[in-house]
C-alpha cells in the first residue's frame, strides 16, 4: 500500500484542515460569564483525570485567538474545525445568550474568514452545561430539547458566516465512556443510562439538524461519528459473528439511525432491558427525527479493532485482541491505515452518504523537544502520510471523501489523560504556552502547499 500521499490525487475543492475542541484548548473556564460544564466538574474531581489536570487554562486559546489564527493560517489549511462551548454561550444550558461568549466565537469566525479559512463548527464536543447534568444530563430527553434550542441560537447568530455545522462529536464516546464505563464526564457507570444517553444524543442531533436548516438554510450539516472498522481475529464463524456484534455496538448503532434505518435489531436484542426500546424512550417519530437527511458524514478514525468471540464477556460476548506484529501509537492504538480505505468504501456502499469528511485522524506519541527546540515526530508524520495516502484508493473506489482534518492543531487537554498525551502537529509548552510547529506540521504544510500549487508526489 502507498505510504506517501500524492497531492494531485485529491479533488481541487477538497477540504484540508486541522481540528480542535473547546474544552481541550480554550481555558478561561470561569471568564466572561462562562458557566461550568461536566468536564469542569469531572476534571476537578480527584482521581478522574491523570495528574489532576484540568482544562482551566489548557492552551489559553481564549486569550491567544489572533496569534493562534495566524498559526492556523501559516499551516496553509483551507478549513478549521472547532467547537462552541455550550456553557460559554448559554451558561446554564438554557435561556439568553451570553454576549461575551458569542463575541468570542464571532471573532473566531471572522478571523478565519479574513484569513481565507472555512470555519467548521461543532455544536457539541462534550462540554455539557453542568446545570443540565444536574437535571439528568443526556439520559433525559429534555437535554436533547435544550440542545435543539441551543443549536437554533448558534445557527441564527453565526449562520450568516458559518456554512458547515457538525451537530454532535462522537456520540459513542459521550454516551458509553461518559455514562457507561465512567472514564469520561460525568463519570457514571450504568449500561442502561448510557443507552438512554445515546438515544437522546441522536434525538438531539436530529433536532439540531432541523434548527440549522431553519436558521441557516444555505449551510451544510452533518454528524461526526468515531468509526473503527472491525476484523475477525480468525476466519472462524464465531469470530466473524463476534466482529459483527462489535460493529453493531461501535458503528451501526449510530450509522443506522442517522441514515434512517432505526436501531440495529441484533444489538437491541443483546441489550435487552438496557435498550432504549425496553426503557420506553423511543417515541413515535424518533426514527424519522434521528434519520433526518444530512449533507455529509463526519468520521473520526484513529485505528481498527480486531475481535474474537468471548462467550460471557460483556453483553457483546466478544473481546478485542492486540495483533502483536502491528505498530502501536502512544495510546496503544494499532496503526491501521488500510482500515481507513476499507471503512470509506464500506460506508459508501452501505449508507451512500452525499459526502464524507474525515473530521479527525491523528496519533499520540511521546514527543521530545530537541536542544534546538524542534520536535522531530517522525512516527506521527508517517502516521499522517499513511492515512492520507489510504484515502486515495478509497477515492478511486468511489468513496465520496471530500475533506480531511488532522487531529489536532496543537497539543491539548486530552480528556482523562490530561496533558500527558500529545496529539498536536504543533507542540505546546504548557509552562510558557509557546507553540512550535512539529516535523509533522511542517510536512503537512509542505503537502498542502504542493496541493495548492498542483505539484505531484
Q: Are 18 and 409 in contact (CB under 8 A)?
A: yes
* Cell numbers found for residue 34: 462562562
* Interface with ligand FCB in residues 347-406 (CB under 6 A): 360
Half-sphere exposure of 452 (CA within 13 A, CB side): 12
DSSP characters for 43-68?
Answer: HTSTTSSGGG--SSSTT-GGG-HHHH
Piece of 144-152, 230-238, 386-394, 407-415 that binds ligand FCB (CB under 6 A) = 407-415
Using the rule CB under 6 A, is 411 a contact of ligand FCB?
A: no
DSSP characters for 210-269?
Answer: HHHHHH-TT-EEEEEEE---EEESSSSHHHHHHHHHHHIIIIIHHHHHHTT--S-HHHHH
Among residues 53, 229, 308, 414, which is the contact residue for ligand FCB, using CB under 6 A?
414
Total number of residues binding ligand FCB (CB under 6 A)?
12
User: Can you tell me whether residue 401 is helix, strand or coil?
Assistant: strand
Neighbours of 355 (CB within 10 A): 17
User: Can you tell me whether residue 398 is helix, strand or coil?
Assistant: coil
Q: Are 127 and 137 in contact (CB under 8 A)?
A: no
CB of 21 to ligand FCB, least distance (A): 5
Minimum CB distance to ligand FCB smaller for 24 or for 451? 24
Per-residue x/- marks for ligand FCB, 62-101, CB under 6 A? ----------------------------------------
Using the rule CB under 6 A, is 176 a contact of ligand FCB?
A: no
Catalytic residue among 308, 360, 414, 417: 360
User: Can you tell me whether residue 299 is helix, strand or coil?
Assistant: strand
CB of 23 to ligand FCB, least distance (A): 9
User: What CA–CA distance (Å, rounded) separates 104 from 92?
Assistant: 18
Least Cα distance to 326 among 310, 339, 343 occurs for: 339
Catalytic residue among 170, 308, 414, 417: 170
Using the rule CB under 6 A, is 342 a contact of ligand FCB?
A: no
CB of 384 to ligand FCB, least distance (A): 14
User: What CA–CA distance (Å, rounded) separates 195 from 270?
Assistant: 12
CB of 288 to ligand FCB, least distance (A): 27
Q: Which residues contact 280 (CB under 8 A, 6 or more apart)?
A: none
Q: Which residues contact 47 (CB under 8 A, 6 or more apart)?
A: none
* Cell numbers found for residue 183: 472514564
Enumerate helices (H) and strands (E) in the chain, giving the number of each: 16, 13
CB of 426 to ligand FCB, least distance (A): 15
Give the residue carrying C-alpha cell 500527558: 420
Minimum CB distance to ligand FCB smaller for 300 or for 305? 300
Closest residue to bound ligand FCB by CB:
21
Using the rule CB under 6 A, is 226 a contact of ligand FCB?
A: yes
CB of 265 to ligand FCB, least distance (A): 27
Among residues 15, 18, 21, 207, which is the contact residue for ligand FCB, using CB under 6 A?
21
CB of 169 to ligand FCB, least distance (A): 5
User: What CA–CA distance (Å, rounded) separates 213 from 218?
Assistant: 8
Work out whether strand 401-407 and strand 15-19 pair parallel, antiparallel, or are unpaired: parallel
CB of 302 to ligand FCB, least distance (A): 7
Q: Has 360 been annotated as catalytic?
A: yes
Minimum CB distance to ligand FCB smaller for 38 or for 233? 38
Using the rule CB under 6 A, is 407 a contact of ligand FCB?
A: yes
Minimum CB distance to ligand FCB smaller for 243 or for 408? 408
Using the rule CB under 6 A, is 300 a contact of ligand FCB?
A: yes
Per-residue x/- marks for ligand FCB, 142-171, CB under 6 A? ---------------------------xx-
Least Cα distance to 301 among 383, 180, 197 occurs for: 383
Among residues 42, 228, 357, 415, which is the contact residue for ligand FCB, using CB under 6 A?
415
Among residues 423, 443, 444, 447, which is the contact residue for ligand FCB, using CB under 6 A?
423
Q: C-alpha angle with apex 126: 264 to 180, nearest 5 degrees?
A: 50
Minimum CB distance to ligand FCB smaller for 97 or for 173? 173
Minimum CB distance to ligand FCB smaller for 21 or for 219? 21
Q: Which residues are tagged catalytic? A: 170, 360
Binding site for ligand FCB (CB under 6 A): 21, 24, 169-170, 173, 226, 300, 360, 407, 414-415, 423
Amino acid at each position: 500500500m502507498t505510504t506517501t500521499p500524492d497531492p494531485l490525487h485529491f479533488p481541487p475543492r477538497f477540504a484540508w484542515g486541522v481540528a480542535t475542541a473547546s474544552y481541550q484548548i480554550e481555558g478561561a473556564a470561569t471568564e466572561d460569564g462562562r458557566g461550568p460544564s461536566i468536564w469542569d466538574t469531572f476534571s476537578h474531581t480527584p482521581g478522574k483525570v491523570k495528574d489532576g489536570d484540568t482544562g482551566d487554562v489548557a492552551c489559553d486559546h481564549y486569550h491567544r485567538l489572533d496569534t493562534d489564527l495566524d498559526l492556523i493560517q501559516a499551516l496553509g489549511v483551507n478549513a478549521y474545525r472547532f467547537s462552541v462551548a455550550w456553557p460559554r454561550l448559554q451558561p446554564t444550558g438554557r435561556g439568553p445568550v451570553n454576549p461575551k461568549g458569542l463575541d468570542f466565537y464571532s471573532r473566531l469566525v471572522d478571523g478565519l474568514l479574513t484569513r481565507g479559512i472555512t470555519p467548521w463548527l461543532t455544536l457539541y464536543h462534550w462540554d455539557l452545561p453542568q446545570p443540565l447534568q444536574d437535571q439528568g444530563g443526556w439520559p433525559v430527553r429534555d437535554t436533547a430539547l435544550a440542545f435543539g434550542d441551543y443549536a437554533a441560537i448558534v445557527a441564527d447568530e453565526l449562520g450568516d458566516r458559518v456554512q458547515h455545522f457538525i451537530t454532535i462529536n462522537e456520540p459513542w464516546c459521550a454516551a458509553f465512556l461518559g455514562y457507561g464505563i465512567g472514564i469520561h464526564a460525568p463519570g457514571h457507570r450504568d449500561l442502561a443510562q448510557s443507552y438512554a444517553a445515546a438515544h437522546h444524543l441522536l434525538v438531539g442531533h436530529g433536532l439540531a439538524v432541523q434548527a440549522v436548516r431553519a436558521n441557516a438554510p444555505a449551510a451544510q450539516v452533518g454528524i461526526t461519528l468515531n468509526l473503527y472498522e472491525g476484523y475477525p481475529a480468525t476466519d472462524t464463524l464465531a469470530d466473524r459473528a463476534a466482529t459483527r456484534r462489535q460493529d453493531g455496538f461501535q458503528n451501526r448503532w449510530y450509522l443506522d439511525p442517522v441514515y434512517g434505518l432505526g436501531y440495529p435489531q441484533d444489538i437491541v436484542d443483546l441489550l435487552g432491558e438496557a435498550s432504549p426500546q425496553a426503557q420506553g424512550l423511543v417515541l413515535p417519530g424518533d426514527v424519522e427525527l434521528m434519520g433526518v437527511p444530512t449533507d455529509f458524514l463526519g468520521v473520526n478514525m484513529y485505528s481498527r479493532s480486531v475481535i474474537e468471540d468471548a462467550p460471557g464477556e460483556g453483553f457483546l460476548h466478544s473481546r478485542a485482541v492486540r495483533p502483536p506484529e502491528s505498530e502501536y501509537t502512544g495510546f496503544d492504538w494499532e496503526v491501521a491505515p488500510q482500515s481507513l480505505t476499507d471503512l470509506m468504501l464500506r460506508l459508501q456502499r452501505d449508507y451512500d452518504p452525499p459526502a464524507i469528511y474525515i473530521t479527525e485522524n491523528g496519533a499520540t506519541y511521546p514527543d521530545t523537544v530537541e536542544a534546538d527546540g524542534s520536535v522531530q515526530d517522525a512516527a506521527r508524520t508517517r502516521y499522517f502520510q499513511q492515512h492520507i495516502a489510504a484515502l486515495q484508493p478509497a477515492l478511486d473506489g468511489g468513496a465520496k471523501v471530500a475533506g480531511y482534518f488532522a487531529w489536532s492543531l496543537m497539543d491539548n487537554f486530552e480528556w482523562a489523560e490530561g496533558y500527558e498525551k500529545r496529539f498536536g502537529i504543533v507542540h505546546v509548552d504548557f509552562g510558557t504556552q509557546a507553540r512550535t510547529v512539529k516535523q509533522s506540521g511542517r510536512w503537512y504544510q509542505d503537502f498542502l502547499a504542493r496541493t495548492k500549487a498542483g505539484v505531484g508526489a
